[in-house]
């Protein structure tokens, strides 16, 4: 069930301005739980309401941090509404996006409770909230760069059993298609989750917007850092910087007007952060020589080491940027197996190190989705079977792999490069309704167990087209009608349980044939199945028409037999009489007799007949 369908009519946003200026980046901001669209200061930013589009429960928000947009509502998703809940936002222009989700705190019994849950975008899990997140401003949201190509953005929240997912706001902000191009693995298959974004030497955290940054920047949040270690110091300049706001990343100029420089007491600059182990990280380092004391090439040279390995050697900012007050961006990708990421700048000779900003992204390989036809079939099943709310069944059935739909078994199909469903385990789940024909669109099913539910109606004959099916257990339901002939086509079937239903009629002979192949079938406890070993013979179950036909046939046969018997008896009597006459010397002693003969005999022997008064009178 796509419970939270947001059909945003964005015509107004997408209208091309009368001048043929390039269209501005697509931007959608959602204020979760809001009944009306909201405008927030200081820039009058528009946030769309999600009221009436979604499930979950709207609630008053307490803002977990000053970073959170000043919105008054949130939406939380009670565990009873299922483990996964999604926003499916339609009409999203194809492109590359910064998707940002702000978390909420749910006020329960006077206490703000901190829910922990997982977040996925387009089927790929991007983040797991960490305990204590509401104590760190920059952990009150998560964001990731993703490619959205199918016109929708599917953002799901997956319960982990620690409280009820609560969402304050969602932002979907278009960026340049090549933003943060990090090398050959960049593209639709790669998602970059922001691990940190540091503005060095700045005393106050800011969004791009506060920096009057370019709208194609994705309104990044820059956390302030006035120092990386005790001995360094912050410097800044009012001078303008060359080349900051260039495609594809459009950094704010102000980022380069502040920096941290190391000192004589500690010439190295070291930045350390905690990361999730065994991941790849994309690291972006920003430099601009803004120290008026350093003006020529060779005056400041340093190596950049990441977790002890040299990532960039002999970095000379003036040389590489092409001058002072000019932006230089370096990026590299590293695999981190431990929990610590250390970026260290080691100056050469007597020089000091300088750094303006640091960005660290976790590189996440985007998951393949489930075959669309199979997703639709499951959705149709969900509706027809009246799947209880607790199942959820929102988002993608198989991904994120950490949170597949319960009751659906997934397998990766190498030919289509998609996930497919190979098993349905929905036994004893209180399902009602009927089994839709669409179930046959789950072509890859090997096993179906719907035993012990309250499913009614016929067994869909389309089931027979799932040729890979090996196990079909529909026992203990209320299936009625006859077993479709098509089930005989399932050549892989080795287990068929139809016992405990209201089925009637003849079991298809083709199924009987399968028994020879060590298949095990159970047809007992039904309304009246016949025609298999262990079941009654089928004759007892004739249609009314057949009964009339047979009744008529029997009557006609009986009549014919009676008539035949009468004729035979008459003839036999004639023969006997003829024999008697012959015994008296009459000329008609032949066995052959017919009426004419006898009449003749009577006329001829009228008088003698009187004489034979005691003889039986055969003729009338």
Ligand X SMILES: *[C@@H]1O[C@H](CO)[C@@H](O)[C@H](O)[C@H]1NC(C)=O
Interacting residues with ligand X (CB under 6 A): 60, 181-183, 185, 278-280, 329, 331, 335, 365, 427-428, 449, 451-452, 456-457, 471, 473, 480-481, 495, 497, 499-500, 522, 524-525
Nearer to ligand X, 210 or 525 (CB): 525
Helix axes of 544-583 and 595-604: crossing angle, nearest 10 degrees: 30
What are the contacts of 478-485 at 24+ separation with CB within 8 A? Answer: 478/454, 478/502, 479/435, 479/455, 479/503, 480/456, 480/504, 480/527, 481/457, 481/505, 482/506, 483/459, 483/507, 483/508, 483/511, 483/529, 484/458, 484/459, 484/460, 484/508, 485/461, 485/510
Nearest to 82 by CA among 354, 419, 407: 407
Shortest separation between residue 266's beta carbon and ligand X, angstroms:
29
Shortest separation between residue 525's beta carbon and ligand X, angstroms:
4
Nearer to ligand X, 311 or 371 (CB): 311
Between CA 354 and CA 328 the distance in angstroms is: 12
Residues 6 or more apart whose Cβ sits within 8 Å of residue 115: 76, 103, 105, 106, 129, 162, 163, 164, 165, 166
Shortest separation between residue 535's beta carbon and ligand X, angstroms:
12
Looking at residue 484, the DSSP 8-state letter turns out to be -
Nearer to ligand X, 25 or 267 (CB): 25
Q: What is the DSSP string of 182-208?
A: -STT-STTEEEEEEEEEEETBSS-EEG
Shortest separation between residue 137's beta carbon and ligand X, angstroms:
24
Residues 6 or more apart whose Cβ sits within 8 Å of residue 527: 480, 501, 502, 503, 504
Shortest separation between residue 561's beta carbon and ligand X, angstroms:
40
Nearer to ligand X, 303 or 580 (CB): 303
Q: From the centroid of its chain, how far is CA 520?
A: 33
Shortest separation between residue 335's beta carbon and ligand X, angstroms:
5
Kindly report the length of the chain: 620
Shortest separation between residue 74's beta carbon and ligand X, angstroms:
11
Residues 6 or more apart whose Cβ sits within 8 Å of residue 67: 137, 138, 140, 141, 205, 221
Q: Which helix or strand (DSSP H or E) is residue 97 part of?
A: strand 95-103
Q: What are phi and psi of 448, to 5 degrees?
A: -130, 125
Task: Calculate ∠ Cα 206-212-216, nearest 5°.
Answer: 95
Residues 474 and 455 sit within 8 Å (Cβ to Cβ): yes
The token pair that represents 14 in the structure block: 């997408």
Which residues face 100 on adjacent strands? 143, 171
Three-class DSSP category at 600? helix
Residues 6 or more apart whose Cβ sits within 8 Å of residue 50: 4, 6, 30, 31, 32, 33, 34, 75, 87
Residues 6 or more apart whose Cβ sits within 8 Å of residue 539: none
Nearer to ligand X, 7 or 60 (CB): 60
Shortest separation between residue 72's beta carbon and ligand X, angstroms:
7
Nearer to ligand X, 337 or 613 (CB): 337
Shortest separation between residue 19's beta carbon and ligand X, angstroms:
30
Residues 98 and 219 sit within 8 Å (Cβ to Cβ): yes
Q: From the centroid of its chain, how far is CA 111?
A: 35
Shortest separation between residue 426's beta carbon and ligand X, angstroms:
9
Shortest separation between residue 96's beta carbon and ligand X, angstroms:
13
Q: Count CB atoms within 10 A of the CB of residue 279.
A: 16
Q: What are phi and psi of 390, to 5 degrees?
A: -60, -20
Shortest separation between residue 319's beta carbon and ligand X, angstroms:
17
Residues 400 and 123 sit within 8 Å (Cβ to Cβ): yes
Shortest separation between residue 329's beta carbon and ligand X, angstroms:
6
Between CA 357 and CA 442 the distance in angstroms is: 51
Shortest separation between residue 78's beta carbon and ligand X, angstroms:
14
Nearer to ligand X, 86 or 250 (CB): 250
Shortest separation between residue 519's beta carbon and ligand X, angstroms:
12
Nearest to 406 by CA among 429, 385, 383: 429
Shortest separation between residue 433's beta carbon and ligand X, angstroms:
11
Q: Count CB atoms within 10 A of the CB of residue 500.
A: 18
Nearer to ligand X, 515 or 556 (CB): 515
């Amino acid at each position: 069930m796509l419970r939270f369908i947001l059909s945003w009519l964005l015509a107004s946003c997408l209208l091309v301005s009368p001048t043929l200026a390039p269209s501005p980046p697509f931007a959608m901001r959602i204020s979760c739980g809001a009944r009306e669209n909201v405008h927030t200061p200081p820039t009058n930013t528009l946030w769309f309401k999600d009221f009436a589009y979604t499930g979950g429960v709207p609630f008053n928000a307490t803002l977990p941090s000053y970073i959170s947009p000043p919105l008054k509502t949130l939406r939380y998703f009670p565990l009873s509404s299922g483990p996964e809940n999604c926003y499916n936002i339609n009409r999203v222009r194809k492109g590359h996006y910064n998707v940002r989700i702000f978390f909420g705190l749910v006020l329960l019994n006077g206490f703000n409770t901190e829910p922990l849950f997982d977040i996925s975008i387009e089927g790929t899990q991007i983040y797991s909230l960490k305990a204590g997140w509401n104590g760190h401003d920059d952990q009150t949201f998560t964001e990731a760069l993703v490619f959205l190509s199918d016109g929708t953005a599917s953002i799901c929240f997956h319960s982990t059993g620690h409280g009820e997912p609560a969402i304050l706001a969602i932002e979907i902000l278009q960026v340049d298609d090549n933003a943060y191009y990090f090398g050959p693995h960049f593209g639709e298959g790669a998602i970059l989750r922001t691990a940190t974004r540091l503005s060095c030497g700045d005393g106050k955290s800011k969004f791009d917007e506060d920096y009057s940054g370019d709208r194609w920047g994705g309104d990044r949040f820059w956390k302030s850092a006035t120092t990386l270690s005790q001995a360094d110091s912050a410097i800044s300049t009012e001078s303008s910087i060359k080349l900051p706001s260039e495609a594809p990343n459009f950094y704010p100029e102000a980022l380069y007007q502040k920096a941290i420089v190391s000192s004589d007491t500690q010439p190295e600059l070291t930045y350390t952060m905690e990361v999730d182990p065994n991941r790849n990280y994309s690291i972006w380092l920003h430099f601009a020589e803004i120290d008026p004391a350093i003006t020529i090439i060779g005056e400041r040279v340093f190596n950049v080491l990441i977790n002890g390995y040299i990532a960039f050697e002999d970095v000379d900012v003036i040389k590489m940027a092409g001058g002072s007050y000019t932006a230089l961006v370096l990026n590299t990708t590293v695999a981190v197996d431990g929990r610590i990421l250390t970026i260290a700048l080691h100056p050469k000779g007597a020089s000091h190190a300088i750094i303006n900003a640091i960005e660290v992204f976790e590189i996440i390989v985007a998951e393949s989705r489930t075959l669309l036809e199979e997703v639709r079939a499951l959705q149709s099943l969900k509706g027809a079977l009246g799947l209880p709310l607790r199942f959820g069944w929102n988002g993608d059935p198989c991904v994120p792999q950490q949170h597949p739909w319960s009751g659906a078994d997934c397998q990766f199909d190498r030919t289509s490069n998609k996930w497919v469903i190979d098993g349905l385990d929905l036994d004893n789940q209180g399902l009602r309704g009927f089994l839709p024909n669409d179930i046959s669109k789950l072509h890859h099913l090997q096993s179906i167990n719907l035993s012990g539910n309250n499913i009614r109606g016929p067994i869909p004959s389309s089931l027979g087209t799932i040729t890979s099916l090996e196990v079909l257990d529909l026992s203990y339901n209320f299936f009625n009608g006859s077993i479709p002939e098509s089930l005989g086509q399932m050549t892989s079937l080795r287990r068929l349980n139809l016992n405990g239903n209201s089925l009637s009629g003849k079991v298809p002979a083709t199924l009987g044939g399968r028994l020879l192949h060590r298949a095990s079938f159970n047809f007992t406890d039904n309304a009246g199945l016949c025609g298999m070993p262990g079941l009654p013979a089928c004759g007892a179950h004739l249609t009314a028409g057949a009964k009339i036909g047979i009744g008529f046939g029997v009557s006609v046969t009986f009549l014919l037999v009676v008539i035949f018997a009468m004729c035979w008896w008459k003839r036999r009597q004639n023969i006997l009489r003829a024999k008697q006459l012959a015994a008296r010397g009459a000329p008609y002693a032949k066995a052959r007799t017919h009426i004419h003969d006898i009449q003749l005999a009577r006329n001829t022997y009228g008088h003698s007949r009187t004489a034979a008064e005691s003889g039986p009178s055969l003729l009338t």
